[in-house]
Structure 1
């Protein structure tokens, strides 16, 4: 049987098509590529379940839909988790196959999705390709030849690109794809041989319809250099020179490294970065490129595009940019500005942005080490405004709020800032470096210390120990360990107590009684000195909580899932848990698994209870999302599946605007919730989220849940039991 296998013209197509085509053709199948983006493709973007993904993901849905409609037997959509040993790919490349399969309601056998994950599963990429070959009725020997044919084709494509060809030109010569359309776009354009413009961005933007042919337009005015033309020997050292730059997302590393290489070698006179609206990784590399272009006095233009971007406005901006003066003399040294004097020795004053009550644990550690910690300011509207003044436009909301908190801490006298690190699939690990760049451009003088996980100890402990020494003024290790233990104890009892409060709110006769106890308890725990005192406070708190009178009711049970910062930070989520529990009718019990101690128990201590639950969550997610997309994206899917099985009335997902892992999860959960027959509400937060609209949506959601429960009761559906008492 001869199979027809479709390759959507988007995302991985623009990076790995030579490999994919050669591999599949060597297996003896017919390769069908979706046609170039046209009006029909743009109309088919409605197949994307939500509006949140970047335009490239929406186009990928459209191209996949057109292939399915054309009658292909299956789609070939590799899950690109990691193509290099040190880093990951963007979550949308990791989760593309899962989004397509769930969003287009395809059967598992209709999507061939071999995972490439060199970081966590080195060598398995070829095994996964052999499994694809077997599904296409091809034996091991022919599969091996097909894999080698793919590698050879990809190497040939990269060699052609390094000679100065664009990706469409390479694909035309090597893969028999359509010839790039040549047309004089601006009759008035005058080519300047002295100008060389770097046009940076993902090829699925630069060479698709939504990019409005930006490369071709600028090529009428000057020589254009694009990222694919820069070999790894030139771009990789530039990325490696950045702190943990080797762990930047693979394809963004190529874009950033290419831009830095061209700047540092003096090969360009202007630079353009094209990014998609809401593109997460682009919001990170944008800061590095803009900062370095300014340092070299090279004009820099950021173009943001989506499906609504008008061609006329974009062309006007390009024409004005081409006329920009400056950058004519290549090869010059960086512009010298005022140098910041080396910091004077000062008494250590540590500050750290917060997340829920996590700062209580850090304060305890530093107090034990006799180091002054500036109290973490609560997130307020003013905090958000301070962060928004400096942050890139499409950076995620948690970076904005924590950036604002850092500015407040520095104003209050902090001279050392502690931030979490850990480069992974989401942007969290890059917050600290981006924030440092942005703040030091203001001339602020401070030391930034990045705390990363100490595991695995053999590789990570030395860096972790150095970071601890910096923020504890070289305190003895025994003091640090005792402080960590005491801080952990506080974090644990606070999370346990808060879980009890969430339950009590649903039953208490007088609204607000549990919250009053909770607020007093938090203040007492903050002041407590030893673990025994903390435990005593906890026992007293639980006894007082039990004594609060309860009503006889069967509250709605609502599960909260989503991105950890948004779930835990009350100002950011507009105190959603309190709002839900404050409704007189219907009463609501809010349940969430995510907490600071749960994360620590799972990822650092590997406690059995958390590990077993985590495995159950991943197993529940696997039929719908079987790869990790970063953050809590996979957990959001798994917890929703379990919530349906465990009898919850509904699920609410909380995510920051532009959060990549949660957007992947959202696009799976919207169609999946219908299959699971569980009401689902996805709430996206940013600095413009209004309380009134937020509460209206929540009240409407609760009405749906109440009506659904009533109908189930009438029809004889299973009742909803109460959660066990504490």
Structure 2
């Protein structure tokens, strides 16, 4: 009989009924790892990197336990999308590939994909492939999938109808549990003791029901009755999410958590709310803000408990004790419980528009808007003032781009902006939720403004109308001819600057007097900002190219360094401490930077693709495929693909940049460990925070370049020796 091992982590706590029923129906024995223990905690180091949240580390540890028991074929599903309009968190998408890359040839990871976003046929294919490898027919797999979904629905219905925790439901329906004893959790609506308080403990079950929670639920039940997210019907959670702008597009599991919290709070079913999260949990940083504001509006005390492998039990006990002593607060208002979380305030007639920066993209956008008669304010770069303005409002584990763009928004509002413009486009990354969260936080401070969210026009059939209306509103109802001409003008400014930066990458590696091309580039950007026509833009670009070619150079034999990572950190030189210029100032070795990520390349690969961009996009995707079989969002897939191509494209090393808690890049970093070893390619990773210091940053860059120089010297020495022998 075939045997597969399922780690008792992450998807186990959501979809064990599904995979248990599926394996049973196809005649496969499913072996689940033991509940988390001290030995499990000792195995957390099996995770190659320290950046993932503790849930990911626990899955690695449980996989190690299964391997130690002789189970070398693991079932770790790739959960891409469980509903047609949203996705799962990037860690659920990337985890099977992270584990497979860490294990190498020591074990086989089967990673069937569930992807309802792209339709039934797409994700069924991966289950058919799994069945084929296990010697099971397509007909049997199809029947097994039907049985599996029924088992999953039965589990979810049981939790709602019986007001049962995941632990209780697993024991009742499947004869197994999560390793915790939570029999005291009951339905507050049917209690015979109305004088006892009710506390909603909201969070991922893979934290709440795992030993990592330090028996949190039973600690809380010592003070009050407890309810959890899985006790709320999904139809009700969806209704709650519908009250939020594009709430249906929030990550699947987080939508259940947030929807349940809103249901409990808005219907006054609880006296207190505890949100349980894990350190570095990206989605939790999004839903936290909504729960906190709704609880404050209702006058219900709220607390966030963040856990990881270093959390001490004494600290948790103290915080729970203190929180249980907190008395209800006066509700902010008496608005209906189904009102939206945020409501735009009154608008001034004058339109003064500001926007966050990303590299030099704001130069192009401001120019396009000016052509349409819109007054704009130039945004300051990420200096100390901007960072402090953002940090004062930002949730704890939100990423640095959110914090700095929020700080820029505050600065703009303080300097006369009446309208803010921010990108939308909700998907796997948090970026699509920035604008809503930032508007919510800024309104708490009393700012009166309009947030204009520019969402993707794709797919055209669904989103073009909304995109069109937003574009007309942003340009003060300019004619379509003027809008198209302005966008064309802005695009050419963007393309000209990106092309000039590419020239700088090459010239820096050879120029005699370092900094010459950088001074010319800064002057070029200032002139591009003032340019008033497309013709003048390309005249300036031609002048810059000629000037750069005329710079005196040396034959320096530079090393080639590829920069990959999260696009905002890669393009924001004030955030990455001017890394490209730093590399360009290296004397020994000289460095030729390769940075393919740019605003123009993104534009051509995602919005208006051309043949060259499509070919390169497919090449990167194919290169990433053997290491990362599904796109986790953001630029994570591209980071892996560009790294996989680096060796054959004559790169000597790779520098990987991403902000702290960036979920797609955490997935990529984990996989790039194996890539570096397999390709014998040095990879330097920088995780950027507001605390990243220039001295330590520069020291690490210098050490990395020393490694590249020494490796090149050894390789050249070997080549010379071979020539002498010949």
Q: Same fold (TM over 0.5)?
A: yes
Distance verdict in 2 for CA 1:355–1:183, change over 3 Å: closer
1:570 aligned counterpart, secondary structure: coil
- Of 506, 511, 524, the match for 2:509: 506
Q: Separation in 1 of the partners of 2:471 and 2:343?
A: 26
> Which residue pairs with 1:36 in the alignment?
35
Q: Separation in 2 of the partners of 1:699 and 1:49?
A: 24
> Which residue pairs with 1:130 in the alignment?
128
Report the CA distance between 1:381 and its aligned residue. 1.4
> Which residue pairs with 2:220 in the alignment?
218
Q: Separation in 2 of the partners of 1:11 and 1:254?
A: 15
> Which residue pairs with 2:617 in the alignment?
614
Report the CA distance between 1:3 and its aligned residue. 1.6
> Which residue pairs with 1:25 in the alignment?
24
Is 1:519 the equivalent of 2:522?
yes
Normalized against structure 2, the TM-score is what? 0.95
> Which residue pairs with 2:118 in the alignment?
120
Gaps of 5+ in 2: 185-192
Q: Separation in 2 of the partners of 1:552 and 1:256?
A: 60
Is 1:544 the equivalent of 2:544?
no
Q: Separation in 1 of the partners of 2:6 and 2:403?
A: 38
Report the CA distance between 1:608 and its aligned residue. 1.1
> Which residue pairs with 2:164 in the alignment?
165
Q: Please give the residue correspondences for 1:220-259 in structure 2 after superposition, counting only pairs within 5 Å.
A: 220-259=222-261
Is 1:371 the equivalent of 2:374?
yes
2:687 aligned counterpart, secondary structure: strand
Is 1:66 the equivalent of 2:69?
no
Q: Please give the residue correspondences for 1:533-612 in structure 2 after superposition, counting only pairs within 5 Å.
A: 533-612=536-615
Report the CA distance between 1:220 and its aligned residue. 2.3
> Which residue pairs with 1:77 in the alignment?
76
> Which residue pairs with 2:188 in the alignment?
none
Distance verdict in 2 for CA 1:72–1:184, change over 3 Å: closer
Distance verdict in 2 for CA 1:384–1:148, change over 3 Å: same
2:654 aligned counterpart, secondary structure: strand
- Of 703, 707, 715, the match for 2:710: 707
1:645 aligned counterpart, secondary structure: coil
Q: Separation in 2 of the partners of 1:178 and 1:345?
A: 58
Report the CA distance between 1:494 and its aligned residue. 0.5
Report the CA distance between 1:73 and its aligned residue. 4.0
2:117 aligned counterpart, secondary structure: coil
Gaps of 5+ in 1: 186-190, 720-726
Q: Please give the residue correspondences for 1:144-293 in structure 2 after superposition, counting only pairs within 5 Å.
A: 144-162=142-160, 163-178=162-177, 181-182=180-181, 193-293=195-295
Q: Please give the residue correspondences for 1:671-710 in structure 2 after superposition, counting only pairs within 5 Å.
A: 671-710=674-713
Q: Separation in 2 of the partners of 1:136 and 1:86?
A: 32
Q: Separation in 2 of the partners of 1:472 and 1:673?
A: 47
* Structure 1 contact 65–104 (Cα < 8 Å) conserved: no
Tell which deviates more after alignment, 442-451 or 112-121. 112-121
Q: Separation in 1 of the partners of 2:639 and 2:694?
A: 24
CA RMSD of aligned residues (A): 2.1
Q: Please give the residue correspondences for 1:312-327 in structure 2 after superposition, counting only pairs within 5 Å.
A: 312-326=314-328
Normalized against structure 1, the TM-score is what? 0.95
Tell which deviates more after alignment, 69-78 or 703-712. 69-78
- Of 141, 144, 148, the match for 1:143: 141
Report the CA distance between 1:310 and its aligned residue. 0.3
Report the CA distance between 1:126 and its aligned residue. 2.8
Aligned residues: 709
Q: Separation in 2 of the partners of 1:474 and 1:555?
A: 52
> Which residue pairs with 1:636 in the alignment?
639
Q: Separation in 2 of the partners of 1:174 and 1:318?
A: 32
Q: Separation in 2 of the partners of 1:551 and 1:589?
A: 13
Q: Separation in 2 of the partners of 1:236 and 1:215?
A: 25
* Structure 1 contact 8–60 (Cα < 8 Å) conserved: yes
Q: Separation in 2 of the partners of 1:233 and 1:508?
A: 64
1:497 aligned counterpart, secondary structure: helix
> Which residue pairs with 2:45 in the alignment?
46
Tell which deviates more after alignment, 215-224 or 18-27. 215-224
Is 1:360 the equivalent of 2:359?
no
* Structure 1 contact 269–327 (Cα < 8 Å) conserved: no
* Structure 1 contact 94–627 (Cα < 8 Å) conserved: yes
* Structure 1 contact 296–334 (Cα < 8 Å) conserved: no
> Which residue pairs with 2:86 in the alignment?
87
